[in-house]
Amino acid sequence: MTKKTPRQMHVFKVVSRVKVPGERRSPYRVLGVPHDADLYALAAGIVGAFDFDFDHAFGFFDGKDPYRSGVKYELFHDADVQPMLGEAAAPSEAQVAISLLLEVVDRCKVMADTTTFLTRRLGEELLPLVPERLRAEVEAELNVVAADLLDLDDIETDGLPPGFREALTQPGGLEQMLQLYGAASAAGDTDAPVERGVKGVPVTEPFGRTPTWTFLFDYGDDWMFDVTYQGLQDAPPRVRLPRVLDSLGTAPEQYPDWQ
């Protein structure tokens, strides 16, 4: 008879950064999770191991300070919160080109010409609806209305240094400016945090970078835990995972002020 291959589990040691008064050591839990678990399942296992309610957002971070970490795996990323918060997409090269060229043209003159056109169009649309006794007075005001609609007083003409503006008027100037912009954007991207979600991300993926990660639960209360990957082991038979395999210390109270 062929011996059945035992199930395997990933094992993590999770240490709370909050100590219960009167206890010398920070409480910890050694947690076993299924071999095919994702980071969401690991988070649920950690929260349950410390008797917390799984009722807040969370993330895994590669630094001690989650808010300054270079790599982060957060539930927010799965929930597409960033676009909801108004995060703008990077402008296309064509959009950048237009923004640069607008610094070269005389925008006041362009907008004045536009005001003339808009005044005429307003007259064509509105004057037929105006009683004869008011028509002359309304027509005299249309130029002011058009200027207000175009907000001419808010035109800014000093967005670029004079040297940059002059360079844009030279042959090949726009191409050079676009290359400078692209290089600056690429340099900025190298400093940007690497952000991913937690759902569907293999539980061991972050730990290939560094063995210990910060787990933050409940932004605001900032419950923090140090999570260290301890490897792959055979799971105990007939035991449901995730499972606390070892523990030390009393877990802090999630809501200590509640009666």
CA distance 216 to 31: 17
CB neighbours of 152 closer than 8 A, spacing ≥ 6?
108, 111, 112, 115
Q: What pairs with residue 16 in β-bridges? A: 225
Whether the CB-CB separation of 58 and 225 falls below 8 Å is answered with no
259 inside domain: no
Which of 167, 191, 215 is the last residue in one of the domains?
A: 191
| Same structural domain, 170 and 97 | yes
The answer to whether residues 211 and 184 belong to one domain is no
Q: Which of 191, 210, 229 is the last residue of a domain?
A: 191
Per-residue pLDDT of the chain (259 residues; tens, 9 = 90+): 556 678 899 999 999 999 999 999 999 999 999 999 999 999 999 999 999 999 999 999 999 999 889 899 999 888 754 444 444 455 677 766 777 666 666 666 777 788 888 889 888 888 888 788 888 888 888 888 887 777 655 555 555 556 666 766 778 777 776 676 665 555 555 555 688 999 999 999 999 888 999 999 999 899 999 999 999 999 988 899 999 999 999 999 998 775 4
Nearest to 204 by CA among 58, 39, 83: 39
Query: Is there a domain that residue 74 lies in?
Result: yes
Domain that holds residue 121: 93-191
Total count of domains within the chain: 2
Around Cβ 10, how many Cβ atoms within 10 Å? 24
**Within this chain, do residues 102 and 170 fall inside the same structural domain, yes or no?**
yes
Lay out the sheet containing 58-61: strands in order across. 194-196, 71-74, 58-61, 212-217, 223-234, 8-16, 28-34, 243-248
The contacts of residue 145 (CB under 8 Å, 6+ apart) are: 119, 122
For residues 166 and 161, give the distance between their C-alpha atoms in angstroms, rounded to a whole number.
9
